[in-house]
Structure 1
Amino acid sequence: MAMTTPQEELLPGTRRALLHRIAVAQAEGRTPSLVAAVVRGGRTVWHGARTSVDGHGPDENVQYRIGSITKTFTAVLVLRLRDEGVLDLGDPLEKHVPGTGAGEATIAELLAHTSGLAAESPAPWWERTPGSLRPDLADVLGEQPFLHPAGRRFHYSNPGYTLLGALVEKLRGAPWEEVLRREVLEPLGLDRTSTRPQAPHAGGWAVHPWADALLPEPVEDLGRMAPAGQLWSTTGDLARFAVFLAKGDERVLSAASLREMRTPAAPSATADLSAGYAYGLGLEIRHQDGRALVGHSGSLPGFLAGLILSIEDDIAAVVLANCTSGLLVGTVAADLVAIVAEAEPRIPEPWRPLSEVDASVLELAGQWYWGTHAFGLRLTADGLASLEPLSGKGRRSRFRANGDGTWTGLEGYYAGELLKAVQRPDGSVSHLDLGSFVFTRQPYDDGASVPGGVDPEGWRGIG
């Protein structure tokens, strides 16, 4: 039996390529320090750092401010409330937090930045001034909170996530910070993630655009705006958070709800499709070099942060830096994912047969026709069925058995649609019904109930 390299080990060439990428990023981005981590197979497989924090090379326990990655944590809290039945994503905010002046926006719209709210709170610049200047939601929203009709376009809104934080506080009866610690940070073991810096932590710096000189940035408590960007964290903690975002954790949020968060929710016509960008529920979605990436970026004066996952490759990357601008952390994180994915492609799980075979289900496997379009239905060892065109691009989906002879679509055009086998009086299968579409064993099979009927003269040529 051939020996294989343990899955958790990266090859020396891969490690050097990762180090080279962050070294170039730190030098060209002119950031005082940069720290990064790569996750594969559910664990951290590489950590790298350039220069120092307080005279020491930063490790996986040094805190940096992570800015808007905080929004993903807030979204997890809201999805927990939805899964408990406390709220519905279609609820207007007014139903749970009355009197804000922005109550017509739904919870889903706030999560997806489609509420129409302004991008920022009224002056002064909230990221560089004390949160005590904005003690109430009215101070965060201003006199005209809406810039666009609700639900019509993607418009990133920091005040929107402040409202979601207020929603969490109202329904839990406790401060956002306390709820976050109890319901997410502690169960996931993120003990180096906090709302205020805890040593060792990096200082935030502005780098002069025309000179290699530094200016310290102020570190403000964001107050009401905290749910939009307050958190400090480490590459170690964010690596663990990335594993959770990919796989879920029943103590915090299910894998199904995480998939929902990773699904585009902003109207596609208004997302930046030219850049391959969309937004889910608290997560950004990008397509880069043919790879689907989810995660979030973050920035506050003095800090830049990026967390990127490729679900298909089972690889995630975290990049943290202590500079105000000059470094594209999201690009660097995506590059780290690509380096590992391309140098060491994911080894697929071994093929295994079905543990048991149901003859009535096996009868459904094989070729089917939707009109004249040929499809194949396959049964896989994970208990799912897949229906996909035998050639070309066309509609495809996997289906989950419901236990009553029907199947529910999991993705694409058929997501949520019901697939069922329609039987003849003698018990044999006549056709498949998929959301009213009829799939037959032969194109327009005259032995099946094809809507509109089948011409009795059948197939013919034209002389």
Structure 2
Amino acid sequence: MTDVGDRLGRMVRWVQAQARVPAVSAALHRSDRPLWQCTVGWTGNDTALDPETRFRIGSVTKTFTAVLTLQCRDDGLLDLDDPIGRHLDLPAHGELTVRRLLSHTAGLQREPYGDVWDTLRAPDADALLADLARAERVLPPGRRYHYSNLGMALLGRMVGELRGATWAEVLTERVLTPLGLTHTTVAPGRRAATGFLVDTYSDEAHPEPPTDFGAVGPAAQLWSTAGDMARWAAFLADPAALDAAGRVLAPATLDEMRWPVTMTDETLWSGGFGLGLILVPQGRRIMHVGHDGAMPGFLAAVYGRRGGEGTAGAMGAAVLGSSGTAAELFELTHRLLNAAVEHDPAEIEPWRPGPPAPEGVRGLLGRWWGEGFEYVFSWHDGALRARGADDPAGKPPAVFAPLPDQPDVYRTVSGREVGELLRLTRDERGTVVRMHWATYRFTRTQETFERYDFRAGS
């Protein structure tokens, strides 16, 4: 990756110089290459800038709180549609659901009551709850996306209550330690960069005061390195590659978190939001999933990449900077991921023959017609699949799994009509002559919706 690494390093150095960022740390994680890292600049203090320098990651913290919340759901401690007041004693807004708070569609005001960004004094746990009745519901629940640090703070407090510990303790035990994120901490530690506001009209860099976000910590408190954050981004994109046993979260749960709940811009549709995760489409069925972060003196962008030809498994990138105004850092993460795939794509795995389709499946393979359109049913990678005959290249097929207690009945587990049943009808010789998928009739020849004789073989 030497030539590509040089290219990526030049991209980082260019942004550091053009955006005038005192320190930038970037990293790229992928399952098929060694970790790539690059640091440029100076920490602003007496510590050397290197890959172990910690930066504040701001709202990237929310992705951790979201994972902790879904862990609670998977462990049976809550339902996403529960009102948060069922799990946390609140003086107001207890009817807002966990799902709405995770997706920023609860309508709760952005910050805790008071001028937090004016005073830089965040409330402690008692004050956060005591003043909750003074916080506004600025929109009806479900009306639209409205970002809320307050909502994420409440979820972090709920996680601690459900687990019988603090949010930070639960985070360390259940996420950071299992994934080996040893440089990700609540406190900056001795190896932290200083955050700056770089003057617009001169080259002066003003140090920003250190801040502790108190009870709002689950929304923005964490510090980390680019290497740790690239690994975290890779986990968000491809959890099975980094957590094969599902100790942190099952891959299916990450799929759920990545599904768009709302659009962040109703006119452009250029980005979406899932359950605690920002979704940034890149075209050609490619999605970058993660989060940006901003705190006084620091910006961060942490994203994993899914889909697209050449994308490696467990691919994630992070860019951390010690300027609070260099917005170019946000786009750099996406550029690094795109450039890495363009100039160093993952190897193409050779195809190898596999075992034949099960005897009961072979007769249904091939072309079928449903709703007037042609579909192709096939057996690949140990599963029954279906796709439209005219589907564009790259569109995922529907995948089916048999129901063990119902012969000739399958459940659609991904793709078109996910969740729906596929039922086979055989004639007296055992030949599949008809299928019903999501209740729509599928036949070997194109037919109308006219009345049909449903006797097998007719």
TM-score norm. by structure 1 comes to 0.88
Give the Cα–Cα distance (whole angstroms) in 1 for the partners of residues 70 and 102 of structure 2. 10
1:406 and 2:396 are equivalent in the alignment: no
- Which of 415, 418, 431 lines up with 1:415 in the alignment? 418
1:295 and 2:290 are equivalent in the alignment: yes
User: 1:127, 1:301 within 8 Å by CA — same for their partners in 2?
Assistant: no
2:338 aligned counterpart, secondary structure = helix
Give the Cα–Cα distance (whole angstroms) in 1 for the partners of residues 111 and 416 of structure 2. 36
1:34 and 2:24 are equivalent in the alignment: yes
1:433 and 2:424 are equivalent in the alignment: no
Offset at residue 130 of structure 1 (A): 2.6
| Cross-structure match for 1:384 | 383
Alpha carbons of structure 1 residues 434 and 57: separation in structure 2 relative to 1, 3 Å = farther
- Which of 80, 89, 100 lines up with 1:89 in the alignment? 80
Alpha carbons of structure 1 residues 38 and 162: separation in structure 2 relative to 1, 3 Å = same
| Cross-structure match for 1:355 | 355
User: 1:63, 1:232 within 8 Å by CA — same for their partners in 2?
Assistant: yes
Q: Percent identity?
A: 35
| Cross-structure match for 1:336 | 336
| Cross-structure match for 1:306 | 301
| Cross-structure match for 2:235 | 244
Deviations 1:297-354 (A, max 9, x none): 1010010001111122133211000011123322100000011111122323322333
User: 2:26, 2:227 within 8 Å by CA — same for their partners in 1?
Assistant: no
1:87 aligned counterpart, secondary structure = coil
Structure 1 window deviating more from structure 2 (53-62 vs 195-204): it is 53-62
Deviations 1:255-294 (A, max 9, x none): 111111111122x5x6446151000111100113543211
- Which of 277, 281, 286 lines up with 1:283 in the alignment? 277
Question: Which runs of at least 4 in structure 1 moved beyond 3 Å after TM superposition?
Answer: 42-45, 54-57, 132-135, 138-142, 270-273, 392-397, 410-413
Alpha carbons of structure 1 residues 182 and 67: separation in structure 2 relative to 1, 3 Å = same
User: 2:28, 2:227 within 8 Å by CA — same for their partners in 1?
Assistant: no
| Cross-structure match for 1:74 | 65
Give the Cα–Cα distance (whole angstroms) in 2 for the partners of residues 326 and 272 of structure 1. 26
After the TM superposition, which residues 212-223 of structure 1 pair with which residues of structure 2 at under 5 Å, given as runs? 212-223=203-214
User: 2:52, 2:191 within 8 Å by CA — same for their partners in 1?
Assistant: yes
Amino acid at match of 1:367: R
Offset at residue 215 of structure 1 (A): 1.1
Deviations 1:353-404 (A, max 9, x none): 33353011122221111132011112112x2332211115699642241343
Structure 1 window deviating more from structure 2 (15-24 vs 41-50): it is 41-50
- Which of 199, 203, 213 lines up with 2:194 in the alignment? 203
Deviations 1:402-430 (A, max 9, x none): 34343332345412112222223443212
1:131 aligned counterpart, secondary structure = coil
Offset at residue 57 of structure 1 (A): 5.5
Deviations 1:186-214 (A, max 9, x none): 11111111111112110111111111101
| Cross-structure match for 1:460 | none
1:186 and 2:189 are equivalent in the alignment: no
User: 1:397, 1:410 within 8 Å by CA — same for their partners in 2?
Assistant: no
User: 2:123, 2:216 within 8 Å by CA — same for their partners in 1?
Assistant: no
Offset at residue 134 of structure 1 (A): 6.9
2:101 aligned counterpart, secondary structure = helix
Offset at residue 435 of structure 1 (A): 1.2
Amino acid at match of 1:281: L
- Which of 395, 414, 427 lines up with 1:424 in the alignment? 427
Alpha carbons of structure 1 residues 378 and 115: separation in structure 2 relative to 1, 3 Å = same
Alpha carbons of structure 1 residues 408 and 130: separation in structure 2 relative to 1, 3 Å = same
| Cross-structure match for 1:261 | 257
User: 1:80, 1:252 within 8 Å by CA — same for their partners in 2?
Assistant: yes
Give ranges in structure 1 of 5+ residues lacking alignment.
Answer: 1-9, 455-463
User: 1:396, 1:412 within 8 Å by CA — same for their partners in 2?
Assistant: yes
Amino acid at match of 1:388: R
Give the Cα–Cα distance (whole angstroms) in 1 for the partners of residues 14 and 86 of structure 2. 50
**How many residue pairs align between the two structures?**
437
| Cross-structure match for 1:45 | 35
User: 2:55, 2:298 within 8 Å by CA — same for their partners in 1?
Assistant: yes
Give the Cα–Cα distance (whole angstroms) in 2 for the partners of residues 100 and 406 of structure 1. 50
Alpha carbons of structure 1 residues 281 and 63: separation in structure 2 relative to 1, 3 Å = same
Alpha carbons of structure 1 residues 101 and 356: separation in structure 2 relative to 1, 3 Å = same
| Cross-structure match for 2:456 | none
Alpha carbons of structure 1 residues 188 and 293: separation in structure 2 relative to 1, 3 Å = same
Offset at residue 232 of structure 1 (A): 0.4
Give the Cα–Cα distance (whole angstroms) in 1 for the partners of residues 19 and 62 of structure 2. 25
1:35 aligned counterpart, secondary structure = strand
Give ranges in structure 2 of 5+ residues lacking alignment.
Answer: 454-458
Alpha carbons of structure 1 residues 345 and 77: separation in structure 2 relative to 1, 3 Å = same
Deviations 1:120-174 (A, max 9, x none): 2233234861334674334664524311111121111111101101110121111
User: 2:54, 2:224 within 8 Å by CA — same for their partners in 1?
Assistant: yes
TM-score norm. by structure 2 comes to 0.89
Give the Cα–Cα distance (whole angstroms) in 1 for the partners of residues 151 and 25 of structure 2. 30
Give the Cα–Cα distance (whole angstroms) in 1 for the partners of residues 301 and 228 of structure 2. 13
| Cross-structure match for 2:218 | 227
Alpha carbons of structure 1 residues 59 and 437: separation in structure 2 relative to 1, 3 Å = farther
Offset at residue 176 of structure 1 (A): 0.4
| Cross-structure match for 2:15 | 25
User: 2:35, 2:227 within 8 Å by CA — same for their partners in 1?
Assistant: no
